[in-house]
């Protein structure tokens, strides 16, 4: 299983990960921060990791 972690201290809620993810893995939580809500759908394209301007997203499979 893929392990996606969003560092909420770095995430500013820009939504870039939401817009680039082809599998709808992310959504914004109540605090306006990105949250991986459908991690099982992740196809490990690594777009979220690569596109995050604050380097707030890590994925063990994208190293």
Q: What is the domain partition of the chain in residue ranges?
A: 4-62
Instruction: Enter the tokens of residue 5.
Output: 């972690």
pLDDT digits (tens, 9 = 90+) for 17-32: 999 999 999 999 999 9
| Helix, strand, coil share of the chain (percent; to 5) | 25, 20, 55
pLDDT at residue 63 is higher than 90: no
Query: Which pLDDT score is estimated for 1?
Result: 79
CATH architecture of 4-62: 2-Layer Sandwich (3.30)
pLDDT at residue 43 is higher than 90: yes
For residue 25, give the nearest of 44, 53, 50, 52 by alpha carbon.
Answer: 44
This prediction's pTM: 0.93
């Amino acid at each position: 299983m893929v392990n996606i972690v969003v560092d909420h201290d770095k995430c500013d809620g820009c939504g870039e990960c939401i817009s680039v993810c082809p599998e709808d893995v992310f959504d914004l939580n109540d605090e306006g921060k990105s949250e991986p809500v459908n991690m099982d759908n992740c196809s490990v394209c690594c777009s979220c990791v690569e596109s995050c301007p604050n380097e707030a997203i890590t994925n063990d499979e994208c190293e």
